[in-house]
Structure 1
Amino acid sequence: MIRLSSRVVPMRGTSMPHAQSPFAPCFRALVRAAPAACLLLAAFAAFAAPRPAPRATIIEDFESGAPALASYPEQDADPSAWAVTGANPYGGDYALRIHGNSWKVESVAPVGIGDGTVWRVAAFVERLGEMQAFGVGDGTNELFYTFAGEQLPLETKWWTAYQGAFPEEEWYAYLLPIGRDWQATYGYLPVIDRLFFVNDDDAGTTGIVLFDEIADVTDDLPVAPEASITYVVQSSRAVGKGLFLVGIEFQANVYDPDSETHAYRWDFGDGVSSEEADPVHEFLALAHHTYTVGLLVRDEGGLAGSDTCQVRVDPGAGDLPITVNFVGDVFTGRGYENHGGIIETYGIEALFEPTIPIFGNAADVNVCNLECSYTDRGTPHPTKSVVFRSRPENIAGIEYAGVDVVTTGNNHIIDYGEEGMAQTLHLLDSLGVGHSGAGTNEYFALLPAFYTQSGVRMAFLGECNRTGREWNYQPFLDAAANKPGFAYMIPHNLEAAIDGASDLADVVIVQLHSGIEYQTAPPGKGGAFAAEPPVEAMEVGPNDPDFRFRVEPTPDDRALRRLAADLGADVVINHHPHVLQGFESYGGKLIAHSLGNFVFDLYYPETFPTMVLTLEIDKEGIAGYTVAPAWIDDWIPQPATGTLGREILDRLADYSRPMGALLSVSREEPAARIYLDRSDADSTVTAGEAIDSLVLSGGYWIAPPMEL
């Protein structure tokens, strides 16, 4: 028998609420409009050069003569260092040119700001200064956006994603989601009544910047389509004893005010997909669980709308739970590609072949952190000290390993610029490997990758907070409204992405890239949700007396990962420290604080232990967790058996116990089961500790036997 959940939706052409722009409040709409695993990211930089569309509301364009500019208190050292000039305007006849150490304030007619308000500001950096920025204020608070400059402001009212991102001596139109950013900074929506123009130049570096055409472009932004599903049972016929084929006609209902052409992708939850608008699909009544059917609709600009419905097949033999394997950082460049090295001598498959039994072939779905771009294009990041890439052909190793989904939300995906990142994402698409965490702008970077197995639809989200700000590595690595990069791991992005994905998936899996490499610095001194380690918590070298490999996450790292769980993530998996850290039981959910490396060319012995984390998932959610140990031997991961395997698992158990997770280590096979609640553990699994005095004997301090 087939039971369909009821849903009442408007048919195509029926009036529906106005769709939100891609930069709506907290990006809620754009995350709900989420792609399937193989979405090809589309470039979205529509506002980089043209003049405003007719609906744009001009706030200031300097066409009415010289504005009345006042001095910003205690900062404007050169009050007269500005002029309205016709020598180099953006689109009209005039622009504002500021030089010297000048901070100017212009009072404007009050402008109300909504959740989704986006302004566009054109700027031209004629000569680099210490800091060149634009800001807005409401008389109580202020918000600034830096575009260029050698100095990096650290206060929370400064938004720095664009700083250094675009060439000097070129006009660029920056999209500023003022509503979202003000709400995230101050917790309310303002009425803006003043503008700020900054050319900070305390050291006399003779910076010069021009501003022009400040406009509210909220109504001009492209709108993501809204999609919904209707369906009807068309046929049912017996095909064997107890087996039936049930045909269902699906229909995609699309509301899109600014696009007429759309591409469709249906995922029926049983391994079959379709690109028709209104397909008919036959379900074989085998399994007794619900199939989550997903629809993705994309417009000409790549913006996406999505919906799901439920199809329950009953009765029959079930094929749940499914298993999903996770491993840590995968990087196949640098030493692996040396002349006479592993890849040249043995092939890319040699890096993954030994672990196929515990990774590629051991689960229904396999996931890793892709710690590099696969590219022969682009140029290396101009200020970053370490840049990674691997030859494009080496991505065949990901396919050979059986990887189905990767997170690209890390600090190396854009090491070779947008061109290198785009080539990587295209290669993943060509292999059918799902990816999340990076894109041509923050809209695409925040989108989930969906993967369906045996009727269970999983949403994979990737975010990172290793932006380069702590070392002033300009341009920074996180995406912005019209700038490429990874999805920035800050609270409002986590909330929007998780909230949107939760409506479209049975299980939401959040993979983060955070913490300090090798944990060589002491715990951070920042606030509970510090997006970056404080400047004083800089990474130190191996000759520094503070150098050490920490096995526990810092308090700030734990707070942000816990926030992801509080916001609705079903499991939180972290990458970046390169060493194993423990598991945490938090609110009935698992937080894996670091899976370590998996394929990586490091020589530190502390980075050699690694693992495969396995999730068991059914329609009710995550049903269990196991872990298998591995060891990176001469840069190639191998299953860790015998004493070595037990030692890795015992250490993981030690790391995890203080964080509430209990590992039951098998003595028969190299594996352990993770328990989030001690009462669920086997009765033979106990945890104990004892304190006793030591006795000096034969020059050694010896403890008497302890009963555990």
Structure 2
Amino acid sequence: MRLPRALPLFAVVAAVASLAACSSSGSPEQGKDPQAKQVDRQTAASPTEKPTPQRRPYTISFGGDVHFEGGLRSRLADPRTALGPIASVLRRSDLTMVNLETAITTGGTPAPGKQFTFRAPASAFTALKAAGVDVVSMANNHGMDYMESGLADSLAAIRRSRFPVVGIGKDAAEAYKPFRRTVNGNRVAIIGATQVLDAEFIQSWTATADKGGLASAKDEASLLRAVRQARRNSDTVIVHLHWGTEMQKCPNQAQLSLAPKLVKAGADVIVGGHAHILLGSGYLDNAYVNYGMGNFVFYNSNPATTGRTGVLTLTINGRKVMKDSWTPATIQGGVPVPMTGAARTRAVADWKALRSCAGLSARP
């Protein structure tokens, strides 16, 4: 048998190098499994690059007007239970909002000539948070019941508590500034403003470029500008308004005029209260409008009118309001108690019937 002639050294080295190259650059089946390859790709990605979250529906619940005046003040002795049994409903949603219709102060000077002035200590924020409330609006006709000194106390309490509040601020920029949160990949922006202000307080209570106060819906240009700005970088834009006429069952002309302007500016949801009673809810084109949430945590209620309340829950994905649901309740001892059985069924039907005079639809 003839033996092969010895190869030169440089040829042996080249052959070994070639073999190694083939081994390292082969297909996954030849040297690396697919999972390991995926890990390599992830490792190679920029460490600062964040994956875009997949957007999916979220829920947001709304309650009506809240204060802790009169007999309700004692409920703040234990903030964990201050809102009573309705808290179990509020906690179910991804976001929850109410109208906080009071100044947050223990001092201050009552607004001159006002028949009703509301104030509460900062523990009101603790109570709301404990009940599952995520954000409140203080843009209403009681938000500055204790005038400038009460405003200063309210703003200081907001800063200390870090509880999200809209519709009030040290200047107009802060008062119209939206609350923002990303929920299930949806960038949500909520703006608060009031269309209801006593004539003698419009000037002194309205926030301006260099003065603190409330976000006013009477200044439509400023409110619409805030909505358009929020629209640019939000998936859902919500406007919470204090509006309507006390004890009037149908929306007034000011409400009917403002709602379509807000929708045109980019609002997807408009919710509000003030009238002490429930008003209609439904769709205005593709947007969702509620004209009146009624009382919620309130010392004065009539079971047949002002004592009827509830929680509005919307299921939303981006700009699309996919579903609305109503959890009816009655105010007992100043706090909402959810209804059950046949009474609940009748209350839901009554609530749906309210939209007949509101010019709203059951579907978009």
Q: Which TM bucket (shorter chain)?
A: 0.7 to 0.9
* The one of 167, 175, 180 aligned to 1:437: 167
Q: Would you say 1:485 and 2:213 are equivalent positions?
A: yes
| Partner in structure 1 of residue 255 of structure 2 | 557
Offset at residue 473 of structure 1 (A):
4.6
Corresponding pairs, count: 326
SS at match of 1:643: helix
| Matching residue within 45, 63, 69 for 1:327 | 63
> What secondary structure is seen at the aligned counterpart in 1 of 2:356?
helix
Given the alignment, which residue of 183, 194, 206 partners 1:464? 194
Partners of 2:110 and 2:117 within 8 A in 1: yes
Runs (5+) with no aligned partner, structure 2: 1-34
CA distance in 1, matches of 2:160, 2:324: 31
Match of 1:614 among 313, 317, 322: 313
Q: Which amino acid aligns with 1:580?
A: L
- Residue by residue over 1:128-161, the C-alpha shift from the partner in whole angstroms, topping out at 9 and shown as x without a partner, is xxxxxxxxxxxxxxxxxxxxxxxxxxxxxxxxxx
User: Match for 2:81 among 326, 345, 350?
Assistant: 350
Is the CA contact (8 Å cut-off) linking 2:313 and 2:324 kept in structure 1? yes
Q: What are the superposed Cα offsets for residues 359-412 of structure 1, whole Å, 9 maximum, x if unpaired?
A: 12x111111111112212322223333211012223211111111111111111
Query: Of 245, 259, 270, which aligns to 1:516?
Result: 245
1:32 aligned residue: none
Structure 2 Cα separation of the partners of residues 582 and 651 of structure 1: 10
How has the CA–CA distance of structure 1 residues 661 and 326 changed in structure 2, closer, same or farther, with 3 Å as cutoff? same
More strand by share: 1
1:585 to 283, 297, 305: 283
Q: What is the alpha-carbon distance in structure 1 between the residues aligned to residue 341 and residue 243 of structure 2?
A: 32
* SS of residue in 2 equivalent to 1:357: helix
Unaligned ranges ≥5, structure 1: 1-236, 250-279, 284-310, 520-550, 663-674, 678-708
The alpha carbon displacement at 1:342 in A equals 4.2
Change (3 A) 1:245 1:584: farther
Q: What is the distance in 2 between the residues matched to 1:474 and 1:623?
A: 37
- 1:627 is paired with a residue of what secondary structure? strand
CA RMSD across the alignment = 2.7
The CA distance in 2 between the partners of 1:565 and 1:326, in whole Å, is: 19
Compute the displacement of 1:428 (Å): 3.4
Q: Deviation at 1:488?
A: 1.3
Whether the 8 Å CA contact 2:155–2:170 is kept in 1: the answer is no
Over 3 Å counting, the alpha-carbon distance change for 1:247 and 1:515 in structure 2 is: farther
* Offset at residue 474 of structure 1 (A): 7.5
Q: CA deviation at 1:660?
A: 5.3
Whether contact under 8 Å (1:478, 1:486) holds in the other structure is yes
Q: How far has the Cα of 1:642 moved from its partner? A: 1.4
Task: Provide the residue aligned with 2:228 in structure 1.
Answer: 499
Question: Residue 225 of structure 2 aligns to which amino acid in structure 1?
Answer: A
Supply the distance in 1 between the matched residues of 2:131 and 2:270 (Cα, whole angstroms).
23
Return the match for 1:626 from 316, 325, 342. Answer: 325
- Which one has more relative contact order, counting CA pairs under 8 Å at least 6 apart? 2
The one-letter code sitting in structure 1 at the alignment partner of 2:274 is: H
Deviation string, structure 1 residues 435-486 (Cα, Å, up to 9, x no partner): 21111222221211112222211111111122211xx358642222322211
Please list, as runs of the form range in 1=range in 2, the aligned pairs for 1:41-52 lying within 5 A after superposition: none
Tell me the TM-score normalised to structure 1 length.
0.43
Could you tell me which residue of structure 1 aligns to residue 155 of structure 2?
Answer: 425
Within the alignment, does 1:594 sit opposite 2:292 as a pair?
yes
| Inter-CA distance 577–630: structure 2 relative to 1 (3 Å threshold) | same
Q: CA deviation at 1:595?
A: 0.7
TM-score scaled by structure 2? Answer: 0.81
Q: Per-residue deviation at 1:569?
A: 0.6
Aligned pairs (5 A) from 1:153-552: 280=48, 283=50, 312-313=52-53, 320-337=56-73, 341-344=74-77, 347-360=78-91, 362-469=92-199, 472-473=200-201, 476-489=204-217, 490-519=219-248, 551-552=249-250
2:86 & 2:109 partners in 1: Cα distance?
34
Higher helix proportion: 2
